[in-house]
Amino acid sequence: MPIDATAPYDDQNIFAKILRGEIPSEEVYRDEWAYAFRDIAPQAALHILVIPHGAYVSWDDFSTNASAEEIAGFVRAVGKVARDNDLVEPGYRLLANVGAHGGQEVPHLHVHLFGGEPLGSMIARRSQG
């Protein structure tokens, strides 16, 4: 069910548990600012989730409340994951769902990184529901 992007951070969310190592995940990259792991239900040949270590509900929360250092570190980590996976050429897609209309399901900021194949049109057309 989509989340309320304005709700306070819930430290029992699934990605908080992954960060604490309480549930397993398939690590792709880790540094001081970010953790990247494979999505459990991939929607492209390569589907990686990149999350900050800090407790941020959404892109809105992160862009409002994170320090400049955290934001720079996180953005650089997303770019590095793409480069490390040889995605810059032929290309890839980043996506961050926010709140109910964005279809965000997990209330810890995550950027989806899709690649490894042509990804088609940017979003589902209205006629497709």
Dist. CA 31–CA 94, nearest whole Å? 19
Confirm or reject binding of residue 35 to ligand 5GP (CB under 6 A). Answer: no
- Ramachandran class of 10: left when φ > 0, alpha when ψ lies in -120 to 50, beta otherwise: beta
User: Which residue out of 53, 108, 110, 112 is catalytically annotated?
Assistant: 110
Name which position in 13, 39, 79, 80 contacts ligand 5GP (CB under 6 A): 39
Q: Which is nearer to ligand 5GP, 43 or 65 (CB)?
A: 43
- C-alpha 99: how far from its chain's center? 13
Dist. CA 32–CA 109, nearest whole Å? 16
Question: Known catalytic residue: 53?
Answer: no
Confirm or reject binding of residue 97 to ligand 5GP (CB under 6 A). Answer: yes
Both tokens of 45, joined, read 């040949």
Name which position in 104, 109, 114, 115 contacts ligand 5GP (CB under 6 A): 104
Torsion of Cα atoms, 23 then 26 then 29 then 33, to 10°? -20
Confirm or reject binding of residue 58 to ligand 5GP (CB under 6 A). Answer: no
CB of 70 to ligand 5GP, least distance (A): 20
First to last CA, the chain: 17
Q: Which stretch binds ligand 5GP (CB under 6 A): 37-45, 58-66, 72-80, 84-92?
A: 37-45
Instruction: Please give the positions annotated as active site.
Output: 110
* Contacts to ligand 5GP by CB under 6 A: 14, 25, 37-41, 49, 97, 103-106
